[in-house]
A and B are shown apart, each in its own frame.
Chain A
């Protein structure tokens, strides 16, 4: 199911070609009306075009300048449309990739089932996506469950650690409330028959592809607010420019419509106006590139606002499975002996825990894995009934498993359990570890210390989150002692131990009552209410249908850590909008200094004092400003699509940085740009 999409280059020729065509299609005024800033530019372009035609017919002078102005005004509109078309094109390309990404899990569709058990079953390999509601499938040990459904027959231990956060396998059996299985989980032992409960095309993937491809994009709340701001600024500048004409008439220096429209277009925030929808589309696109399907842009935006992250311990903060870190022999037992026994019992144990025991024995005690087939070894696999595994070898019966199961086993073998065992077991439990007792027939050898391993780099990530003002809360089913130990090691701000679904829900409500926004991941059906309650609920793709329905995002990779990246993308989306708005407004300063002296220096040469860029002629000055205004849109398309580089800093540092780059930079850059364009066009004789 997982298919990592690589980050695409910004300028993909296929997309560019389609976007160029799209840029012209979007000139349709009805489509432009949704973007008031660019709509004003289009109206301005239409007006200058009409006047240009009149001039051509009547043979006015100054045609060359007016023609160039008119062309560049149209370019401004087209460039903005191009940016939007580029973003949409990338989204569409993404949808195509997604469709391919629906790589198939092969399911054993039951075509004939004559009797209970697996002997009388005939199956056919069928892609999981072809399964329909009501289909029966057989899943054997080691296989993935192909879709959500109900167990109709059999009992099996299923590893749902990636979903539920519990590292211990769970028992799934027909009947009762343990009959629901979720797609993507894995049967570890035994077998089950499942009745599939959802149809193809109803998956989130299918729905999301429709969403990405759909032309109708809902504007997000912040985008709406920003649009109002931009529309307001546009009206203000419209007023400033329209009323400039009477002032100019009073001063004895009336202006042509071409120059006035040029000034207007330069002043209104075309840079952000032209790129705004591209930023939004690209933000969604970035989410998809991370293999996350967001149900709405609103959810992505909300991710940027999150105050509290609820993270499940297992699979998110710690590796999905525990690892052996220590062998603790009972008194009178050599360390080597228990290591050896533990390794032997685990040689055929393919679970991560089992492998980690073999590895620990090898690295710490120099015991090599042995080929045991020759020794007539008989392996006892783990089963949900016995809750232990082991090996019978040369008369030895080595078993490892949960303390109570092994104790029961020893007693059944007429052995005795030394009281030190209990102490060791409790000591491991108290530090957050899981004890696994090893016994040789009726003799207890010692305890294997299995420990949750905190993923590398988590502490740094939590530090970053803290700097961004986001609090992380670890959710775990462990007891408070264990939870505290892991929380301390991982560096989370808080934890919720022995968490039941209701506790999670209560925590979210508590945080929200304080005005905080909460994000969480979840997968189980019992997570659904919490996922719905959370402001950002990311359901694992492997999760149950109700969970996916409840959340507002689905992570195709089912990687709970992704939540952190989603938050970053949300922030990046808002930052990009803010940065380009600031840049756009700051640009106006230079444009005024280019155009105002150009307008009036003819009548009042003293006003050349304002021509601080020393632009060559009034025509070249106006033209340079208009050209700069159009080109900057194209130049910023990559930034709009990629987003402003995100840094995990506090708001104050982030603001300072962005104000320097986009505020101060926004004032300075156009001075340089307009001057360069002026030099160029006067050199090549355009003005």
Chain B
């Protein structure tokens, strides 16, 4: 680890701290329908949208109607994405003349993936998706799945803030305002900033470059095997050209991070020089990932009238973030002890460390930071392959997702995710102060605990069951690319990432199989909607409750003690659920690696 590495990490956290309040205040204004400086432009657009779609912006919804509207929108937009994928051959903006996304289960998996804000990718972007599919299908879902997340978080916050009310807002209004006020302006500015750093933004066909030094490779026959001539010698082919994939990348790149979606335009995601060309573009992307999540903590405080509570939640997130990045940075900087004859020490001329699957311009610090951030949030973009991280370095993102991605978290999803933890923390520890547990003046009762436990249950349910099946069945293990404990981690990571709607992967696992496309698609849908519905149930129930004014006897949710308690509950619930699996995956691999074992 280097001082400069820590400087970058610290600088990043300071930026996030700085943006929290302005972003939080802005969102509180937007969703309380107070005036913002963007109104003159956006308000007419908003009205027009409502006019076309028949939305009554003053209509208030009970939580059930809110949930139904959200589900309807998700189903319709998921269907549209599936159609676009399958019909892209007939659609415009397809200079490479790419055919339909196939097989159908891949198209299903991708549609589920982008609708659920997961962006798990069993395809390679530049080889599969036309520009139209990328823009109107994938990037579009990057917007709306994020907007849905923000809407849901705001609905939950309203549930806490409202008193004896049946309704929690209007889904359509929250959706539209998320898109127009929060996402779109930031993305236009951010996209142009990224272009200034070298992220491409065009609709041109892929370029062909004449290689400076052409080279030879063994030809691959029609059967997919390397060809061997009759003389027994390999048949060689000269590669003299480089095809450079292009596309409208910047406009998608920015919403990919800002909406914590994570689905790369290219296969290599944010490691690709066209997606993330400079350290500054890397910083913009990191910043975008956390901005809304951090801002929502302040929005929470603002809308519920306890800004200090918002900061207490922020602090818990920040500390867990630092813990994760420290562990990942330490492990990656330490390098791989199994490699002899190499220099992995950090020095003036190189960052050292485990550079397999990492980019030189980003180095160890930025890669560890990115892996931590992308999984703290439910982003899933990567700038280095987690599969090639050291066992502990790779365990950090895995654990982050297992903790439900509540460390600043996915847009909206992180907020309602951590609020579920808050409900549990307040309930367990709240009893210890000798009162019926209260959260910001709302009593936490059986119904709330039941719904919170449902949310807490769904996660291990899908992850552990699908992983359990996959590790003992041939259709599961055949996809493993790294044998030994690492293979277990690959599968565990896949389902954890999909259940958590993260989308990052231990990329060596062959995901494009009927089993993984189908089980993964189900995992993503369950991981998103089966959590949202009970969560909205709590929101609706809290909104109905009376407000109990705070007193000295009230459970404190604004103190450092609360911050510690919240972290404790997050860690203990997550760790207890997944410790056995982790001990046979990354922990075992780490111990074996230290002992010099190779698979």
A–B touch (CB < 8 A): the answer is yes
Q: Residues of A with Cβ closer than 8 Å to B? A: 221-222, 224-226, 228-229, 231-233, 235-237, 239-251, 263, 267, 301, 304-305, 307, 466-471, 514-517, 570-572, 574-575, 577-579, 581-582, 585-586, 588-589, 592, 596, 600, 604, 606-607, 609-610, 646, 650-652, 654-656, 658-659, 662-663
Q: Besides A579-B432, A588-B576, A606-B595, 20 other CB < 8 A contacts? A: A226-B431, A226-B449, A228-B449, A232-B453, A236-B577, A246-B468, A249-B472, A263-B580, A468-B552, A469-B554, A515-B547, A574-B432, A585-B576, A588-B572, A596-B580, A610-B583, A646-B434, A651-B435, A652-B556, A655-B556
CB-defined contacts of B595 to chain A, threshold 8 Å: 606
14 residue pairs bridging A and B, Cβ less than 8 Å apart:
A226-B427, A229-B449, A236-B456, A243-B465, A247-B467, A247-B468, A307-B549, A468-B553, A572-B434, A589-B575, A592-B580, A606-B594, A659-B429, A663-B568
Q: Is B245 interfacial (CB-CB < 8 Å)?
A: no
Q: Is the CB of B434 within 8 A of A574?
A: yes
Residue B469 at the chain A interface, CB threshold 8 Å? yes
Chain B residues with CB under 8 A of A245: 468
Query: Are B472 and A610 within 8 A (Cβ)?
Result: no
Q: Which 9 A-B pairs have the closest CB atoms?
A: A469-B553, A578-B431, A571-B434, A469-B551, A232-B453, A578-B432, A606-B591, A469-B552, A243-B468
Majority DSSP secondary structure for residues of A touching B: helix
CA distance A246 to B469 in the complex (A): 7
Q: Given the interface contacts A469-B551, A515-B441, does A250 sit within 8 Å of B477 by beta carbon?
A: yes
Chain A residue at minimal CB-CB distance from B466:
A243
**B274-310 Cβ-contact flags toward A at 8 Å (1 or 0):** 0000000000000000000000000000000000000
Interface positions, chain B 448-468, Cβ under 8 Å from A, are: 448-450, 453-454, 456-457, 460-461, 464-465, 467-468
**Are A222 and B436 interface neighbours, CB within 8 A?**
yes
**B547 and A650 form a contact (CB under 8 A):** no
Do residues A251 and B444 form an inter-chain contact, with CB atoms below 8 A? no
In the bound assembly, the distance between CA atoms of A243 and B487 in angstroms comes to 16
Is the pair B432, A575 in contact by a Cβ cutoff of 8 Å? Answer: yes
Contact (Cβ within 8 A) A581 B434: no
Interface majority SS on B: helix, strand, loop or mixed? helix
Bound-complex Cα distance A581 to B554 (A): 19
Decide yes or no: A574 and B435 within 8 Å by CB, A247-B581, A250-B477, A651-B556 being known contacts. Answer: yes
The listed residue (A239, A468, A610) touching B460 by CB distance below 8 A is A239
Q: A196 CA to B554 CA in the complex, in Å? A: 47
Inter-chain CA distance A225–B435, complex, in Å, is 13
What is the count of residue pairs linking A and B with beta-carbon distances less than 8 angstroms? Answer: 219
Contact B432 A659 (CB under 8 A): yes
Assembled-state Cα–Cα distance A271/B449 (Å): 20
B550: nearest chain-A partner, CB-CB: A469
Please measure, in the bound complex, the distance between the C-alpha atom of A572 and the C-alpha atom of B487, giving whole angstroms: 50
Nearest B-chain residue to A604, judged by Cβ: B588
The answer to whether A655 and B561 touch across the interface, beta carbons within 8 angstroms, is: yes
Question: In whole angstroms, how far apart are the Cα atoms of A470 and B552 in the complex?
Answer: 8
A574-B434, A607-B588 given; A516·B549 CB < 8 A: yes
- Determine whether the beta carbon of B548 is less than 8 Å from that of A515: yes
**A231 and B454 alpha carbons, distance in the complex (Å):** 11
Do B436 and A304 touch across chains, with their CB atoms under 8 A apart?
yes
Q: In chain B between 551 and 599, which residues have their CB closer than 8 angstroms to a CB of chain A? A: 551-556, 559, 561, 565, 568, 572, 575-581, 583-585, 587-588, 591-592, 594-595
Closest to A579 in B: B432
Residues of A near B561 (CB, < 8 A) are 652, 655-656, 659
Chain A CB within 10 A, most for which of B436, B467, B553, B581: B553
Q: How far is the CB of B515 from chain A (nearest CB, A)?
A: 15
**Which residues from chain B sit less than 8 Å from chain A, CB to CB?**
424, 427-436, 441, 444-446, 448-450, 453-454, 456-457, 460-461, 464-465, 467-469, 471-472, 477, 485, 487-488, 546-556, 559, 561, 565, 568, 572, 575-581, 583-585, 587-588, 591-592, 594-595
Q: A263, A578, A588: which contacts B430 (Cβ < 8 A)?
A: A578
For B428, what are the chain A residues with a Cβ–Cβ distance below 8 Å? Answer: 229, 578, 581-582, 585
A607 to B436: give the CA distance in the assembly, Å. Answer: 43
A221 pairs with B553, CB closer than 8 A: no
Q: Does the CB pair A251–B488 fall under 8 Å? A: yes
Beta-carbon contact of A237 and B467 below 8 Å? no
Q: How far is the CB of A584 from chain B (nearest CB, A)?
A: 10
Picked from A236, A577, A650, A663, the residue with its CB within 8 Å of the CB of B553 is: A650
Q: What's the minimum C-beta distance from A242 to chain B, rounded to whole angstroms?
A: 8
Q: Hey, which chain A residues are within 8 Å of B555, CB to CB?
A: 651, 655
Q: Is the CB of B465 within 8 A of A239?
A: yes
| B549 x A582 contact (CB < 8 A) | no
Complex Cα gap A514–B163 (Å):
11
| Docked-complex contact A250 and B472, CB < 8 angstroms | yes
Closest to B594 in A: A606
Tell me the nearest residue of chain A to B465, going by C-beta: A243
| A517: chain B residues within 8 A (beta carbon) | 548
Which chain A residue lies CB-closest to B436? Answer: A305
Min CB gap A632→B, angstroms: 17
Most chain B beta-carbon neighbours within 10 Å: one of A241, A242, A652: A652
**Please, how many angstroms separate the alpha-carbon atoms of A273 and B449 in the complex?**
16
A610 & B584 in contact (Cβ 8 Å cutoff)? no
* Nearest CB on B from A232, distance (A): 3
Q: Which of B431, B453, B472, B591 has the most CB of A within 10 A?
A: B431
Q: With the chains together, A654 CA to B469 CA distance in Å? A: 46
Whether the Cβ atoms of B549 and A515 lie closer than 8 Å is: yes
Shortest CB-to-CB span from A668 to chain B, Å, is 14
State whether B580 touches A241 (Cβ < 8 A). Answer: yes
B561 — nearest CB in chain A belongs to which residue?
Answer: A656
Instruction: Specify the chain B residue showing the minimal Cβ separation from A467.
Output: B552
Q: Which residues of B contact A263 (CB under 8 A)?
A: 580
Within the complex, which residue of A466, A575, A581, A609 is in contact with B433, where a contact is CB–CB below 8 Å? A575
* A251:B449 contact, CB within 8 angstroms: no
Contact A221 B477 (CB under 8 A): no
* B449 CB, nearest partner CB in chain A, Å: 4
A581 CA to B428 CA in the complex, in Å? Answer: 7
In the complex, A586→B573 CA distance in Å? 10
In the complex, are the beta carbons of B551 and A582 less than 8 A apart? no
B553 touches A585 (CB 8 A): no
Q: In the complex, what's the smallest C-beta–C-beta distance from B519 to chain A, in angstroms?
A: 14
CA distance A570 to B433 in the complex (A): 11
A589 pairs with B572, CB closer than 8 A = yes
Give the residue name and chain of the A residue nearest to B578 (CB).
A240
The answer for the CA separation of A604 and B591 in the assembled complex, in Å, is: 9
A247: nearest residue on chain B (CB-CB)? B584
Q: When the two chains form their complex, are residues A585 and B572 in contact, meaning their CB atoms are under 8 A apart?
A: yes
Q: Give Cα A582 to B548, complex, Å.
A: 25
Q: Which of A229, A239, A467, A589 contacts B427 (CB 8 A)?
A: A229
Could you say which residues of chain B place their CB within 8 Å of the CB of A225? Answer: 427, 444-446, 448-450
Determine if B464 and A596 form an interchain contact, defined as CB atoms under 8 angstroms apart: no
- Residues in A with CB closer than 8 Å to B424 are 229
Complex CA gap A575/B429 in Å reads: 9
Does B446 lie within 8 Å of A221, measured CB to CB?
Answer: yes
Q: Are B453 and A575 in contact (CB under 8 A)?
A: no
Given contacts A239-B464, A577-B431, contact A651 B552 (CB under 8 A): yes
- B247–chain A nearest beta-carbon distance, Å: 40
Cβ-defined contact, A592 with B592, below 8 A: no
Which residues in B have their C-beta under 8 angstroms from that of A662?
Answer: 432
Q: A607 is contacted by which of B477, B554, B591 (Cβ under 8 Å)?
A: B591
Which residues of the other chain, A, contact B587 by a CB distance below 8 angstroms?
607, 610
Is B449 in contact with A575, judged by CB distance below 8 angstroms? no
Once the chains are docked, how many angstroms separate the CA of A585 from the CA of B569? 10
CB distance from B80 to the nearest CB of A (A): 35
The residues of A that contact B446 with a CB separation of less than 8 Å are 221, 224-225, 228
Contacts A225-B449, A232-B453, A656-B561; A575 near B434 (Cβ below 8 A): yes
Closest to B447 in A: A225
Report Cα–Cα, A570/B469, bound state, in Å: 48
Closest to A465 in B: B553
Contacts of A610 in B (CB 8 A): 583, 587
Contact between A247 and B471, CB atoms less than 8 A apart: yes
Per the bound structure, the CA–CA distance linking A466 and B552 in Å amounts to 7
